[in-house]
Amino acid sequence: MFRYILRRLLQMVLAFFGTTLIVYALTFAGQGDPIQALAGERPVTPAQRAYLTEKYHLDATGVGGFFYRYFDYVKNLLKGNLGESLTGRNIGDILQQAWPVTVRLALIALAVAIIFGVSAGVIAGIRRASIFDNSTLVLTLLVLGIPTIVLAPLAQYFLGVKWQLFPPTAGSDPTLYALLLPGIVLGSLSLATALRLTRASVAENLRADYVRTARSKGLVKRRIVVVHVLRNSLIPVVTFLGVELGNLMSGAIITEGVFNIPGVGFNLFRGIRTEDGPLVVGIVSVLVVVYLVSNLVVDVLYAVLDPRIRYE
């Protein structure tokens, strides 16, 4: 296990540098005039342009200039310095304020997927071809067919504005209740996928040979499902949910934008819109680390759920 974790950590280092290099190249290669994009319609004085150009090495052009700026960024990143955005704010301070909001939102979405998705998937897998099974399959198909950019405004209008069950917007300092509706919206796609994945896994394990052997020994159905079927069925579900946690933290751009939530996704969208390259690269670099760590934790949990799994 130790050798496996060490090998995965080395792979994570390569994946991190490869990903940040690609993101850095895509961010700054397609960038027009970031200084003017930041100023909008206001004119930029030559003194301001010269200061920002020198500070962010925007005068370094060509392949050599690109790698100079990238290695300068990596050097500061290894020191824990994410740099400053084009607005002059420290990116670390921006993330420090935004992370707690996004983490709470992602945990609410993940809890919705686990509580409702996995539970309903287990019931649907046990009661195959029942009314409950067919109804959940139809509902999850509808949810998967509606993108978040459509689902979020609909939920905001009906549940927040028309029926006033939830606050329509979260505001600058959102409470847990204010994050409940956007958390449900964010976790709806995860819920639908987790439900269908759990249903398929439970149904497949119920037809396995070890289940027939357990029944022949006289074990009650509840013990067979809880002790044997559920444990084996959770392996692909845990894989999905672990990876999905990283996706929820990075994929909350639309949800945070619609509900006016000052999280990581909201700041990332603002950085893309204003062509703030340092802010975009800094946020994406942190999200890459979160995604890689969540994948490592999931792989290690395999051995906990199924002792037969061994890493060489």
pLDDT tens digits, 6-49: 888 888 889 889 988 888 888 766 556 666 655 556 677 788 77
pLDDT in tens, 77-91: 888 888 888 777 899
Residues 69 and 119 in one domain: no
Residues 137 and 266 in one domain: yes
Residues 56 and 117 in one domain: no
**Domain ends where: 79, 102, 124?**
79
8 A C-beta contact, residue 114 and residue 234: no
Q: Do the domain assignments include residue 84?
A: no
- What's the domain range around 112? 94-305
CA dist 228 → 19, 38, 171 (Å): 40, 58, 46
Q: At what angle do helices 264-273 and 91-112 cross, to 10 degrees?
A: 130
> Which segment of 100-109, 204-213, 227-236, 282-291 scores lowest on mean pLDDT?
227-236
Residues 66 and 164 in one domain: no
Residues 203 and 266 in one domain: yes
Residue 294 C-beta-side C-alpha neighbours within 13 Å: 19
Query: Count of domains in the chain?
Result: 2
Q: How far apart are CA 287 and CA 265, in angstroms?
A: 10
pLDDT in tens, 176-218: 899 999 999 999 989 999 999 999 999 898 888 888 888 888 8
In 3D, which of 137, 115, 117, 133 has the Cα closest to residue 125?
133
Residue 253 C-beta-side C-alpha neighbours within 13 Å: 15
Residues 101 and 71 in one domain: no
Residue 122, both tokens: 């287990």
Mean pLDDT of 63-67: 71
Residues 201 and 272 in one domain: yes
Residues 178 and 266 in one domain: yes
pTM (predicted TM-score): 0.82
For residue 208, what are the contacts with CB-CB under 8 A and spacing of at least 6?
A: 232
Instruction: Quote the distance between the C-alpha of residue 295 and its chain's center.
Output: 12
Q: Do the domain assignments include residue 311?
A: no
Q: State percent of the chain over pLDDT 70.
A: 87
**Domain ends where: 49, 79, 109?**
79
